[in-house]
Structure 1
Amino acid sequence: MQRYTKLGVRRVLSSLPKSGGAVVNSAFSTNCSLYRDSSAKDSAISSLYTTSRRLKTEKKSPKKPAPAKEAEKKPTPSEEPAKKPTPVSETQTPVEKEPVQDSTEKATDENLDAVVDPVDAKETEPEIVETEKVSGPADEMTFKAETKQLLDIVACSLYTDKEVFIRELISNASDALEKRRHMELSDPDNYARASDDAEAGVSIVVNQAKNKFVLTDTGIGMTKQELVDCLGTICSSGSKAFLNKLKEKGEGSKTMESIIGQFGVGFYSAFMVAKSIKVYSRSAAKGSPGYLWESDGNGSYKIMECEGVAKGTKIVLEMKDTELAFCTPQVVERIIKKYSNFISFKIHLNGNSVNTVEALWRKAKDQVTAEEHNAFYKFISGAYDTPMYHLHYSVDAPLMIHSLLYIPQTHSEKFGGGRQECAVNLYCRKVLIQAKAKNVLPEWLRFLKGAVDCEDLPLNISREHTQDSALIRKLSTVITKRVLKWLDEESRKNPEQYEKFVKEFGNFLKEGVCTDQVYKPDIAKLLRFESTADGASKLNSLDSYIDRMQPSQTNIYYISAPSKDIALNSPYFEQYKEHNLEVVVLTEQIDEFVVQHLENYRKYKLQNIETFDATLDGAVQAKKKTEGDKKDPVMEASLNETQCSALADFMTKRLLGRVGVIKSTTRLSTSPIVLMDHESAQIRKLMKMMGTKEGPAPKYNIHFNPKHELIRKLYTLSQSTDSSDIELGGLLAEQLFDNAVISAGLLDDPRSIVNRLNTMMTKMVQKIPEPSNM
């Protein structure tokens, strides 16, 4: 199959007709699109595919003109007489058709090439021919729906949790308040707030004894027609219609940012918990009467004019006997704080204010105090400490995002509390969409706490999940890049404070290097390690290492060691110290695993000094060309090649089964022996922690220093004819080997060498006389 490109589809879809319809049935009505955009696009793409193939075929090999007789027998569709449209009955709503343009004629080769990616140009697909012909007039009909069943679906099947009905009703109340605030400013003659009007806000009263849940707002209210349109018509959103009017007029941008409703179904979620619903409403427009809207959810409703109705809307729910928990203040308060704590208006529950914490992410950075940050952090994270860092970030491109993120002082994973969950909540216009949203930030940033509010989220109809995974990925990309930039800025601004952050949360960054290929270079920039350089700070970035590199140096060098002091005394470091090459010290068990995943940083390869010869570095080679070879003035005595070969044979026999290759080396200066080409001690420990089964004991390759006194004396003992000297030489060879294993960090149990050490020390003191009193 050939592939369709998104650009070409958009280019040609603009010429396709659109279809829509409305269904009216029973007392309630539905306001929904007859055809969804996805199906329209699918059919359009299918037809474009067939059309493009036909046009390309005609362009390559033009068809010969058909004989006249055949042309007379089979007239083309354009020559057939147009059929008369079927008359529309008086009771049937006429459906207007937009003029259909022939997209085939207007489709250029450029457009078609954009639609169909010419990857597979072979004519292998079967040809599809429609042989059926229309023989009668078309009867255009409308879909029908059983209103009660549709209401049941909307009320009871869209939402995961029943508690969201409180969120939906509060969101509707918030929209009504926003509308009234806008109308008071834009049309004060008709909507000016009177002195006896209640303060803008939402009030909830619950009474478990009477099975009542009452929510009142002092918003815009509704007229009789608006009650019919908004409550009597399923999927008709008054908030969305209000937004469309504002867009047409080009005004009310601040109001548009605060409107929450989109689908016109949230109100019906109350039927999940209520036996019947009464809505008292009076429009805030001057001189408007009040009305009562009433329904038990069985497919019909009543509207009556009513006296004593205050401006705004009052919703009275008579709760089902099984849902009386929603009539208890404690439960309702928890739900309000979970979903609707940050709406722009005060919420009172049984006379007490509930939402006392503001949505700080919507405020300007310079208007938020440290006390407000601390209070908000404690509220949203449930913590008792103060945050180490905070990021207050807003952007309007490519998405409208407001976020407020915090880094705590510590985390629970280091105490063995298990893998902690993401603690960043996702909001849309200050209403909670997902608590602890997993897809907003990558896993390695799960230590962050806070809120992300995105106005461009394409929510599903229940407003519990997002629909566009590509947009969520874009949101995640924007936030992640900003967090990385923020941490880099903080590291430069206050290095000491950043070191505290790295000590506490550095392992999360290292996890990111190992698991996130996209941001691996940016995360590596934030890592900090110790270094062997004189005068270097305790923790250093790889960038600072590169700044101190010698000219022509080709690699970044590292060593794994429990501490910097052990690294400085390691036999592997001797060669690098001699050539003045700085080495990064990896002190954590996971560090070497991280470096192996990183492999390169900028243009430099990361090399382990235990396996890499320093003389191969570009800086050493350049210095060698300039200054030439220099002899070691300290240790001139050395074994020759023949002696080295004999000593290697002696050690191989003595250490049979434990060693592989034994040879002399020039890379050591003060150490007698070293292991080469062995497994990493840190990786080995890490694999043990993971429960990986160990194979047979490996054979280690040994390089010895022919200039070292111990090696020279060992050769002498190995060539002796005295059996006691040979035995002493054997013990010395075994001890030197174990010393090398210890230096490489590979000796699991040092108790195994205690007996040998005692034997050697006994031989050392044999010539010393006993005490005189013995």
Structure 2
Amino acid sequence: MEAIWSMDPKDIDDEKYSAFYKYIAHAYDDPLDRLHFRADAPLEIKALFYIPSFHMEKHGMGRMDPGVSLYSRKVLIEAKSPDILPEWLRFIKGAVDSEDLPLSISREKAQDSMIVSKLRKVLTRKIINHLTKMARKDPDKYKGEFYKEYAFFLKEGVCQDFDFQDQLSKLLYFETSKTMNGELNSFDEYVARCKPEQKEIYYLCAPSRDLALNSPYLEAFEKAGREVIFVYTAIDDFTMANLEKYEGRSIVSAEKSNIDLGIDGDEKSDKEGDEKNEHGKEADDQKKLTGVEAEELCSWFHKTLDQKVASCKVTNRLDSSPAIVTDNESGAMRRMMRMVDTQEGGLDALPLAKQHVLINPKHPIILGLQSIREKEPTLAKVCAEQVFDNCLVAAGLLDDGRTMLPRLNDILLCVVKGANKDEK
């Protein structure tokens, strides 16, 4: 097969490009895209790269081997070299030729060669620039074809390749709470819609868009008119945690407790609630715990679930949900860690840390819990445990929901008995 990477791109037609790709990639289809370039500085380089139309890792075929071979003056130095591109670019197929590499260089020396290290950075930057150009000039192809197939590798690069983390972050796309289902936006598009006073980028990890839209963690952001990025997998969550910032804005999980959304503080609201209750002006449909009641209930909740709860406080960030846990480990990350741990045979090696609970002082369940905790302590304890487990479910932290079944049956029995008493 002719070394077409060393030829002038003007002298090669699509048919010859396609034939060479099928030869080196052992493929039967045409590539999604290609990059053929020549450079004289800082190194003499002739390179031809292909992006396949699909990759096999997602089909459970195992981790792919590197796909780029290294040459010097058309002499093969190393086939499928692991040193010429970072591991996250292992899906790239092609050939690289550099006359700056001595023909006598061995594969072992190539691994430690300063020239190879410099070549690696130049080639990585060139590929990222090519993808950036595709995203800008042909967004449909980038998002609909490339990103759909290779987003995982870009996120892997963000987590591994800190030299190019900023450039790679601009190539990431997400759904948000204000986009349509399937509509992907970049960080730049998200930031452009932010209110001037918003200094953070918010994200929420959930198994699906529907669950994200119905998450109790989203309630406060909708109330404040803040847009939230939706991510759906453990690698997404890990990527956000690794990025930490984008263009000077902190990237913050919606599950954190110390988020300032401009909603009235809890202390002020509690005092107002006390004043209204003292003067009898609180409407029935706006009932809420007084400051004293909230403090008593939080103390009781913490004491009752001492082995599971690190703290319990009142919050105004909730509307339709009775409680949430915050500042917890990510549910997606926990599932990934548990999967790895299970493969290693350690099923019980990941105990759940004590959680920080925030309760909604206006919710009927919380109001009811306050009213029965002294009159019916056994039932109140069962309800508190269920409220807590519901919080874990919402956060994706409950490893096995079957543990709740006996308690749920007890609660249903109480409901049925109560209904029968009302009929009599």
Q: For the superposition of Structure 1 and Structure 2, which TM-score range results when normalised by the shorter chain?
A: 0.7 to 0.9
Structure 1 residues 647, 696: closer, same or farther in 2, change over 3 A? Answer: same
d(CA) in 2 for partners of 1:540 and 1:612? 26
**1:276-287 to 2 correspondence within 5 Å?**
none
Letter in 2 for 1:458: P
SS of residue paired to 1:425: strand
Shift of 1:575: 0.8
What is the match of residue 567 of structure 1? 212
Which of 565-574 and 631-640 deviates more?
631-640
Please say if 1:706 is aligned against 2:357: no
What is the match of residue 371 of structure 2? 716
d(CA) in 2 for partners of 1:406 and 1:657? 55
Shift of 1:546: 1.4
SS of residue paired to 2:163: coil
Please say if 1:592 is aligned against 2:237: yes
d(CA) in 2 for partners of 1:465 and 1:558? 44
d(CA) in 1 for partners of 2:419 and 2:111? 87
What is the match of residue 192 of structure 1? none
Letter in 2 for 1:637: K
What is the match of residue 141 of structure 2? 497
For each residue in 1:312-351, what CA deviation from the matched residue of structure 2 results, as whole angstroms up to 9, or x when unmatched?
xxxxxxxxxxxxxxxxxxxxxxxxxxxxxxxxxxxxxxxx
d(CA) in 2 for partners of 1:587 and 1:718? 38
Which of 726-735 and 375-384 deviates more?
726-735
Shift of 1:665: 1.2
d(CA) in 1 for partners of 2:223 and 2:55? 42
For each residue in 1:729-753, what CA deviation from the matched residue of structure 2 results, as whole angstroms up to 9, or x when unmatched?
3322221111111111111111111
What is the match of residue 606 of structure 1? 251
SS of residue paired to 2:234: coil
Structure 1 residues 612, 496: closer, same or farther in 2, change over 3 A? Answer: farther
Shift of 1:462: 8.0
Shift of 1:464: 10
Shift of 1:759: 2.0
What is the match of residue 731 of structure 1? 382
Shift of 1:460: 1.7
Match among 418, 438, 454 for residue 98 of structure 2: 454
RMSD: 2.8
Structure 1 residues 463, 522: closer, same or farther in 2, change over 3 A? Answer: closer
d(CA) in 1 for partners of 2:366 and 2:112? 70
SS of residue paired to 2:222: helix
What is the match of residue 542 of structure 1? 187
For each residue in 1:137-157, what CA deviation from the matched residue of structure 2 results, as whole angstroms up to 9, or x when unmatched?
xxxxxxxxxxxxxxxxxxxxx
Structure 1 residues 438, 767: closer, same or farther in 2, change over 3 A? Answer: closer
SS of residue paired to 2:313: strand
Structure 1 residues 536, 542: closer, same or farther in 2, change over 3 A? Answer: farther
Match among 357, 373, 397 for residue 17 of structure 2: 373
Is contact 1:433–1:463 with CA below 8 Å preserved after alignment? Answer: yes
Match among 426, 429, 443 for residue 70 of structure 2: 426
Greater helix content? 2
SS of residue paired to 1:447: coil
Shift of 1:419: 2.4
For each residue in 1:678-727, what CA deviation from the matched residue of structure 2 results, as whole angstroms up to 9, or x when unmatched?
2221222222233286354422221111111111112111243xxxx443
Structure 1 residues 522, 633: closer, same or farther in 2, change over 3 A? Answer: farther
SS of residue paired to 2:162: coil
Is contact 2:205–2:232 with CA below 8 Å preserved after alignment? Answer: yes
Shift of 1:558: 1.0
Letter in 1 for 2:365: L
Shift of 1:609: 1.3
For each residue in 1:575-614, what CA deviation from the matched residue of structure 2 results, as whole angstroms up to 9, or x when unmatched?
1111111111121112222222211112111111111444
Letter in 2 for 1:454: S
d(CA) in 2 for partners of 1:466 and 1:726? 72
Which of 580-589 and 364-373 deviates more?
364-373
Is contact 1:405–1:450 with CA below 8 Å preserved after alignment? Answer: yes
Match among 556, 569, 572 for residue 201 of structure 2: 556
Letter in 2 for 1:451: A
Structure 1 residues 577, 407: closer, same or farther in 2, change over 3 A? Answer: same
d(CA) in 2 for partners of 1:734 and 1:463? 61
What is the match of residue 682 of structure 1? 332
What is the match of residue 408 of structure 2? 757
For each residue in 1:540-581, what CA deviation from the matched residue of structure 2 results, as whole angstroms up to 9, or x when unmatched?
222221122111211111111111221111111111111111
What is the match of residue 267 of structure 2? none
Is contact 1:664–1:704 with CA below 8 Å preserved after alignment? Answer: yes
d(CA) in 2 for partners of 1:700 and 1:390? 50
Structure 1 residues 465, 757: closer, same or farther in 2, change over 3 A? Answer: closer
What is the match of residue 528 of structure 1? 173
Is contact 1:459–1:467 with CA below 8 Å preserved after alignment? Answer: no
Letter in 2 for 1:544: E
Which of 739-748 and 534-543 deviates more?
534-543
d(CA) in 1 for partners of 2:108 and 2:391? 61
Flag the structure with more relative contact order, 1 or 2, with Cα contacts below 8 A and sequence separation at least 6: 2
Is contact 1:458–1:468 with CA below 8 Å preserved after alignment? Answer: no
d(CA) in 2 for partners of 1:641 and 1:554? 31
**1:296-311 to 2 correspondence within 5 Å?**
none
Which of 434-443 and 529-538 deviates more?
529-538
**1:601-680 to 2 correspondence within 5 Å?**
601-614=246-259, 616=260, 620=262, 636-680=286-330
Shift of 1:635: 5.5
Match among 29, 53, 56 for residue 412 of structure 1: 56
Match among 224, 230, 233 for residue 579 of structure 1: 224
What is the match of residue 401 of structure 1? 45
After TM superposition, the runs of 4+ consecutive aligned structure 1 residues lying more than 6 A away are 461-465, 630-634
d(CA) in 1 for partners of 2:83 and 2:197? 44
For each residue in 1:627-650, what CA deviation from the matched residue of structure 2 results, as whole angstroms up to 9, or x when unmatched?
xxx999996311101111222233
Letter in 2 for 1:687: M
SS of residue paired to 1:392: strand
Letter in 1 for 2:322: P
Is contact 2:257–2:326 with CA below 8 Å preserved after alignment? Answer: no
Gaps of 5+ in 2: 264-271, 274-281
d(CA) in 1 for partners of 2:320 and 2:419? 29
d(CA) in 2 for partners of 1:418 and 1:598? 27
d(CA) in 2 for partners of 1:468 and 1:672? 58
For each residue in 1:498-544, what CA deviation from the matched residue of structure 2 results, as whole angstroms up to 9, or x when unmatched?
22322322222222112211111111111222211245862222222
TM-score normalised by length of structure 1: 0.49
d(CA) in 1 for partners of 2:229 and 2:194? 12
Is contact 1:458–1:467 with CA below 8 Å preserved after alignment? Answer: no
d(CA) in 1 for partners of 2:60 and 2:91? 15
**1:378-393 to 2 correspondence within 5 Å?**
378-393=22-37
Letter in 2 for 1:529: F
Q: How many residues align?
A: 400
Match among 62, 80, 87 for residue 443 of structure 1: 87
Gaps of 5+ in 1: 1-356, 622-629
Is contact 2:75–2:103 with CA below 8 Å preserved after alignment? Answer: no
d(CA) in 1 for partners of 2:77 and 2:283? 74
Shift of 1:728: 2.9
d(CA) in 2 for partners of 1:466 and 1:718? 71
TM-score normalised by length of structure 2: 0.86
d(CA) in 2 for partners of 1:546 and 1:429? 47
Match among 141, 144, 163 for residue 518 of structure 1: 163
Shift of 1:767: 4.8
d(CA) in 1 for partners of 2:82 and 2:157? 15
Structure 1 residues 369, 461: closer, same or farther in 2, change over 3 A? Answer: closer
What is the match of residue 134 of structure 1? none
Structure with bigger gyration radius: 1
**1:22-33 to 2 correspondence within 5 Å?**
none
